[in-house]
Structure 1
């Protein structure tokens, strides 16, 4: 029987053997690619469950008594009164402490002098501007409360507000906006469950309260506040080029899954790190916080120009995205399309109304801090310290191509790192925290080929000895790691099976064919990393990318993730690292990460240099100082050395240097070649000198910033809880510290 099954022809025997070999190879590949990652259960992480905001459908409300402008009272909580004009659905809020009236739209009297006409004039009278598209088309059309055949039905929300349900009969579209007064002002939400699309029209975006508090051209003193870098101000009385008439950028930057990357792509602006915007007019101001749905939102600011004669700022919520759909897999040609599926995110914005001495960017930052603290999104207050911590990042080395092969170029061994730390301690640097990078076995950054630790710098044994030596000196050691982006040639993950999918369902690719690992898989993979580092005695992980600076969707039809899903799993991971190792650090420090980390490297401190933004202010530092330690740029990598040193002092940052024991030229052609001046021997004296200056601020390390002011041209002062006042003068390149507690 066996002889009958086995081919008698030599040719067929070879073909059968080849087929068997191929089958074995395929099975082996499938086996190696099967999911062998640790489970969330092993890490104590729960899968995310979404709870949608409720939509009211009980009893319809009709206005009773109205005032001279047609507004009826809806709710009053003793601090604020909510009014609504039933026909246009405009709202107004009375601050009962000051009597000031905040309007969703300019008054009829103000509009009498408006020069714009048609749809633009209608938009000025509506509490929202909705864009919609027809299925299969990309042309967007605006709708508002003045659109023909629009109807609105009202339902009271307990005693705190009202729900307005807007229906566009012709377009077969409907959605609800919920207005509520709070102890701080006004809360406005668009519940996803309230959206209805019953025809071939789709909602593309909703610009919520586009003219809330809008200020007529040059009629009042004040500014718009935008979340550019640490904070940006757009003054009402400035003359600007016509090309700088609007500001519209996504919170937390562009979603990589919706972005086309190419080899020449580079970051050209500071991505928004916190979901806040604001407006100041005279002695009144508001700070608006996007509490839900920031991951599909853009901050939108405009000055008088083509759309109106008003300074305005608002949030625009996107429900769908436009993208390039490839015509075929054979070419790069694509056609513009609108994604069919709608975002299911709820959206909620709180307008915190301010007055008097709180009606400026400092008051806005304090109000934002109160929100973060009350909603449990800030870490605990830092412990007081006798000496300011120096954040010392040490680079071990990296791989570089040489003579047709790659070889690891050693920049700092663990023994040399110990020598560097000892030298700084002996020279008077009293408090040091160490992060070590360039330790991965592959010799590359965006890799998961980490272990064993590269032998050229000391290997695992050297790492253990170094950590023990640091612990004996009371110094913590973290290792840098990379979690989101991966180099295709340096990863055990596979782009097609493990990488995220873009909005066009293709794998997202970056420079050199790099890709982003699906968040859930990346988080699960970290367990093995954490377990290994725990055995070495490492005190924590500093994530260079991923948590805190890169949020993305995954449009994989088999396991899709939203940006909010990614953030949830980031937060779970950060908490897990803290539990297992003791501490965790990140880069940039976007809002969702604040509660979950101990250290932020590269905290936003510079602007995007937009022509529209007149002044950069430390809004974000004011909001978080004293709850997390943060740095700006490494001292040895500053572009304008003295100015950036003073900026770190002004913004309450801690000192930070990124060093090597060897000459920095050894890093040339490695992944660390951007570190152009790093040799410890060259920088040691400068570090000691600079540390002594930073150490003057050790007493305010754990304190809130209570005040920030401009004293003169390029002269600023930052004041802390105990009265310590730090004045920096960018003209003389000096700073002074006065008042406060004495050391």
Structure 2
């Protein structure tokens, strides 16, 4: 029985308000963080700026002021001591990439005042007075803070310098070094000095490779969704808009602006201008990085893109659980990372487009991250089947169980698909746990209503007799039932304010059990404990859906404290252990820090976020992955537009995938999580046969080959080229495409093998 609240008098209200104000002030001074940035005594920090260097001047460096800092067979690194700006020169072609605006175009710069000075600064910072929760943040360059260069020195392979910002009482040491085919910029976190103001983020050499639009073909490549292009142009509908998103997605433990954008899975970006370009790879500290892109006219005349290094993030500090009152503030301590490094790979000629950028990233993954190609011995492409076991729906007095596919029905489904002549099949069985798909926590034993452990074992054994692997789908990052010994107060993921986080979705019904986010330290124990149960069933792996490998959060739970990078490490370790124990692991639209530990990528993003300044989506992630990992896009039977989705799978080189049930499943749309109207495999069997036959005929020959080129040859007509010159052309238009003897049917595709004429 709920107790009644007594009315509060005006005096009591005033007293409560006074207490809240005092508490807010106290909390603002006491905000904590479990990961220590380097604390600096304010008096010491102030003293460090007593011996100022020469004030930094907002000038474009002159070519005559540059000297050689490093050189190799391919590239030369030049530096200007007075500004610490640098140039990278391709020795074979003489092509130059500058860390500052193009000198020939600078006189036409449209930015004025402070921002014009910012564009000439080798570093931009944002800082705030974190002790005053009402204070606003400030963006600053060297000029407007009375900045100067300190301790400039040449070092082996490059140069080092410290940027001093006296008005902000901040110093930031950096290094720039040349390597065989790239230049690297690095921030030395251990040497950062802070006084009474707090560093929020840093953009180091933000205008590297920046160019205004002067009639040339050019674009910014951002890792939005599958990859997107912001093409250069002289007119913008809303020129003030910029792109700024966190690598690997938002961190639930902090404030996140609701942008509706797709998650960044790859720590990369690039820029092309004419016949030269660069690809940037954030190789260290990527968990604390944003990708920031400014189309021409948004912030100055140039198009530019850079890494924005995060040191603190905003969060909401509640002071009253009953009213929800509180304030937005920042932690007193900054995030620290063992390294913060961005590489810039210069590209020229026919290798300077986004396919050339993708080839560089692919090579980096293989040679430096140990991502080895996963190849199938079977000649055909794989077909991915997600089989739904069960879910639950709201009942009159309690939730009702909605059976979709028993293990015996799953065997019949698989037998019928195999009978179509489709023998390279991969199965993900979901909703097999107690109470079905929407119930998270306590996965074992398999629910008896679909067959129990014995039924699942029989099904997996049957699948193995056909040479078909079975993955069991799971999401260990949520708990809805308290199983596995989970207690939300002790084991739940906590944000910086100490609040246990719960999943909030628009679709979630009021009567559905709360889904609590689980601390990474807790779910790591549960996964390790469950691995032997999967092994006893004969499962070939776990398909980690919408969690491990794709969701990255900081945990402020005192029992399991984990930074964002700690969480990434925990996830990579779990995927590795899963692979070692069961033989394989898979994940949905995986963040690329975990790519080396998964054998397949399911539900790869195939679209973009539809920002008004973005010109078009590109299959950048698919170009990187093809021949490295098999991947799928959206399930074929839930596409909004079937034919265009089918063509996109062919264009992207993806394998077909379906989500199916073995029974009449119209009532699944009433479930808490699976709202699909048509899952009965008997309704889809002929479509599966037709789609697979078409896609296999196009892609089987090149399923293990890399994509070498991709381009738009006409509006709505795309070309994908594989190693050996194998070409696939897709026409999204309702009219046939004809050009120079090349013909692509309306809403169709054409294949040209290497050596064939147009």
State the TM-score, normalized to the length of structure 2: 0.86
Structure 1 contact 385–698 (Cα < 8 Å) conserved = no
What CA distance in whole angstroms lies between the structure 1 residues aligned with 2:390 and 2:298?
Answer: 54
741 and 406 in structure 1: CA distance in 2 versus 1, 3 angstrom threshold: farther
Tell me which residue corresponds to 2:90.
Answer: 95
Cα deviation, residue 158, structure 1: 4.1
Tell me which residue corresponds to 1:358.
Answer: 351
What CA distance in whole angstroms lies between the structure 1 residues aligned with 2:665 and 2:677?
Answer: 6
Tell me which residue corresponds to 1:245.
Answer: 241
Q: Quick check: 1:442 aligned with 2:443?
A: no
After superposition, residues 270-419 of structure 1 pair within 5 angstroms as 270-305=262-297, 307-345=299-337, 346-419=339-412
Tell me which residue corresponds to 1:162.
Answer: 159
Tell me which residue corresponds to 1:733.
Answer: 747
Q: Quick check: 1:257 aligned with 2:250?
A: no
Structure 1 residues 668-720: Cα deviation after superposition (integer angstroms, max 9, x where no partner): 33234322211111100000111101211112111111111222121111111
* Alignment equivalent of 1:208, drawn from 204, 207, 220: 204
The range that moved more, 180-189 or 445-454, is 445-454
**Structure 2 residues not aligned, in runs of 5+:** 1-34, 39-52, 55-60, 505-512, 734-745
| SS of 2:185 mapped into structure 1 | strand
Q: Quick check: 1:231 aligned with 2:227?
A: yes
Structure 1 residues 430-454: Cα deviation after superposition (integer angstroms, max 9, x where no partner): 2211111111013243511222211
Structure 1 contact 258–502 (Cα < 8 Å) conserved = yes
Q: Quick check: 1:476 aligned with 2:469?
A: yes
Structure 1 residues 11-31: Cα deviation after superposition (integer angstroms, max 9, x where no partner): xxxxxxxxxxxxxxxxxxxxx
Structure 1 contact 699–741 (Cα < 8 Å) conserved = no
What CA distance in whole angstroms lies between the structure 1 residues aligned with 2:675 and 2:520?
Answer: 28
Cα deviation, residue 109, structure 1: 4.6
316 and 730 in structure 1: CA distance in 2 versus 1, 3 angstrom threshold: same
After superposition, residues 629-640 of structure 1 pair within 5 angstroms as 629-640=630-641
Tell me which residue corresponds to 1:427.
Answer: 420
The range that moved more, 707-716 or 302-311, is 302-311
* Alignment equivalent of 1:712, drawn from 708, 711, 714: 714
Q: Quick check: 1:190 aligned with 2:187?
A: yes
What CA distance in whole angstroms lies between the structure 2 residues aligned with 1:112 and 1:369?
Answer: 39
CA RMSD of aligned residues (A): 2.4
Structure 1 residues 424-483: Cα deviation after superposition (integer angstroms, max 9, x where no partner): 111222221111111101324351122221111111111111111111111111110011
Q: Quick check: 1:120 aligned with 2:115?
A: yes
What CA distance in whole angstroms lies between the structure 1 residues aligned with 2:661 and 2:63?
Answer: 73
Tell me which residue corresponds to 2:609.
Answer: 608
What CA distance in whole angstroms lies between the structure 1 residues aligned with 2:212 and 2:685?
Answer: 55
Structure 1 contact 384–701 (Cα < 8 Å) conserved = no
108 and 475 in structure 1: CA distance in 2 versus 1, 3 angstrom threshold: closer
The range that moved more, 129-138 or 412-421, is 129-138
Cα deviation, residue 107, structure 1: 4.5
State the TM-score, normalized to the length of structure 1: 0.87
What CA distance in whole angstroms lies between the structure 1 residues aligned with 2:560 and 2:526?
Answer: 17
Tell me which residue corresponds to 2:7.
Answer: none
**Structure 1 residues not aligned, in runs of 5+:** 1-48, 53-60
After superposition, residues 77-156 of structure 1 pair within 5 angstroms as 77-137=72-132, 138-147=135-144, 149-156=146-153
* Alignment equivalent of 1:177, drawn from 162, 174, 191: 174
Cα deviation, residue 209, structure 1: 1.6
| SS of 1:462 mapped into structure 2 | helix
What CA distance in whole angstroms lies between the structure 2 residues aligned with 1:465 and 1:393?
Answer: 18
What CA distance in whole angstroms lies between the structure 1 residues aligned with 2:103 and 2:520?
Answer: 51
What CA distance in whole angstroms lies between the structure 1 residues aligned with 2:503 and 2:481?
Answer: 10
| SS of 1:391 mapped into structure 2 | strand
Cα deviation, residue 557, structure 1: 4.3
Structure 1 residues 506-529: Cα deviation after superposition (integer angstroms, max 9, x where no partner): 212222642211112101111222
Q: Quick check: 1:659 aligned with 2:660?
A: yes
692 and 560 in structure 1: CA distance in 2 versus 1, 3 angstrom threshold: same
535 and 365 in structure 1: CA distance in 2 versus 1, 3 angstrom threshold: same
